[in-house]
């Protein structure tokens, strides 16, 4: 049997298999010792590297502001980032604390700000990912995953309906598709819609916006335009979709308003586009649709910034103030009564209302005094 050949990386064994046990005994100790030493060195280097990265992150942390409002803005930013890093079990548990309604057919949750419904580029965690975990928390380990009945934008908070089985999910989806569901949203707007109540009936189409950074946005595609003081009919864009929004101002000041919105149709970003481009009243915190040509933080007046206690440089952190306030579903299955689902406002929304001196309808004031219990940020 040939003697073992050694190399810089450790022992290399050759032979016909006989006497392998005794030879392994001879070389195993130095081999294990070398491997253990190498592992210890690598672990030490990794630990040092992680500590260095932690120190570097700590030095880059944004200083804590002495202004209460700016601290609240920083909290919302941190909360949104944390949602993408938490374990799915933690997120599912948080969603159970915000359940608005539960029966044998449906589970209705309060969707928090900054949480996407579906996955996509850059999305680490979304509601779809935690539906199986949420079902098990509510109905035990043998429960089938819950199913989405509709969607909300990442930045929108409020009522979201889930179904226990596919058939019920399809039934609810059909109600949405055929416009049998009453949907009411609340939004804080920059400027005040005129008139104070009405209907915006302007088609919407997606277009590429030309600017320093090319991007796509939804925009209006009106049937008429003004030309030298005359109304001229415009050739219809074949990609334009019918979009109808009913609105009503609930409270207002000279520079802002609390508006109730009832979308009759369900086009992508419909409420944001109709408010910003149709009524010239963008939603507070809508950094995408406040300006057509630019992707930049929303520009706010000095008066509004002063009320919010913010500087313009911090405006980019203001969250979108759009809340899915209420859904009214027709009777489902063997039920005989419609289902009226109402969701309280998140804390940041209530705080902005107070700072902007906007009043809520009387029936909602008592409810939102306890908004901290929602678990929505």
Catalytic machinery residues: 153
Structure tokens at 46: 């990794």
Q: Give the span between the Cα atoms of 269 and 292, in whole angstroms.
A: 14
Report the candidate in 344, 309, 271 with the shortest Cα–Cα distance to residue 66. 309
Structure tokens at 199: 């209907």
Round to whole Å and give the CA distance between 146 and 140: 13
Torsion of CA 76, 82, 86, 92, to 10 degrees: 20
- What are the tokens at 121? 């580029």
Is the distance from CB of 274 to CB of 266 less than 8 angstroms? Answer: no
Residue 308 to residue 293: CA distance in whole angstroms: 26
> Which structure tokens are listed for 175?
């109600």
Q: What Rg do the C-alpha atoms of the chain give, in angstroms?
A: 29
């Amino acid at each position: 049997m040939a003697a073992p050949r050694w190399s810089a990386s450790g022992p290399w064994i050759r032979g016909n298999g006989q006497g392998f046990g005794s030879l392994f005994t001879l070389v195993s100790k130095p081999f294990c010792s070398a491997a253990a030493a190498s592992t210890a060195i690598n672990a030490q280097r990794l630990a040092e590297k992680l500590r260095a990265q932690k120190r570097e992150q700590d030095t880059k942390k944004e200083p804590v502001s002495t202004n209460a409002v700016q601290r609240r803005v920083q909290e919302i930013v941190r909360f949104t980032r944390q949602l993408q890093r938490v374990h799915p079990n933690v997120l599912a548990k948080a969603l159970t604390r915000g359940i608005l309604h539960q029966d044998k057919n449906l589970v209705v949750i309060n969707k928090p700000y900054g949480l996407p419904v579906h996955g996509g580029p850059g999305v680490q965690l979304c509601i779809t990912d935690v539906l199986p975990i949420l079902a098990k928390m509510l109905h035990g380990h043998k429960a089938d995953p819950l199913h989405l009945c509709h969607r909300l934008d990442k930045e929108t908070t409020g009522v979201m309906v889930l179904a226990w089985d596919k058939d019920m999910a399809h039934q609810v989806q059909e109600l949405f598709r055929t416009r049998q569901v009453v949907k009411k949203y609340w939004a804080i707007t920059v400027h005040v819609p005129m008139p104070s109540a009405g209907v915006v009936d302007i088609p919407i189409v997606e277009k590429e916006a030309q600017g320093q950074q090319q991007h796509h946005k939804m925009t209006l595609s009106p049937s008429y335009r003004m030309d030298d003081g005359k109304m001229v009919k415009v050739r219809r864009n074949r990609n334009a979709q019918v979009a109808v929004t009913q609105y009503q101002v609930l409270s207002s000041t000279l520079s802002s308003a609390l508006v109730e919105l009832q979308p009759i149709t369900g086009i992508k970003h419909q409420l944001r586009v109709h408010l910003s481009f149709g009524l010239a009243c963008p939603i507070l915190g809508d950094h995408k649709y406040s300006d057509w040509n630019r992707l930049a933080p929303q520009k706010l007046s000095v008066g509004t910034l002063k009320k919010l206690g913010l500087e313009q440089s911090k405006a980019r952190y203001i969250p979108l103030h759009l809340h899915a306030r209420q859904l009214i579903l027709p009777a489902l299955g063997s039920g005989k009564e419609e289902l009226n689902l109402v969701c309280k406002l998140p804390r940041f929304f209530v705080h902005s209302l107070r700072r902007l001196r906007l009043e809520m309808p009387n029936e909602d004031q008592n409810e939102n005094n306890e908004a901290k219990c929602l678990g929505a940020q």
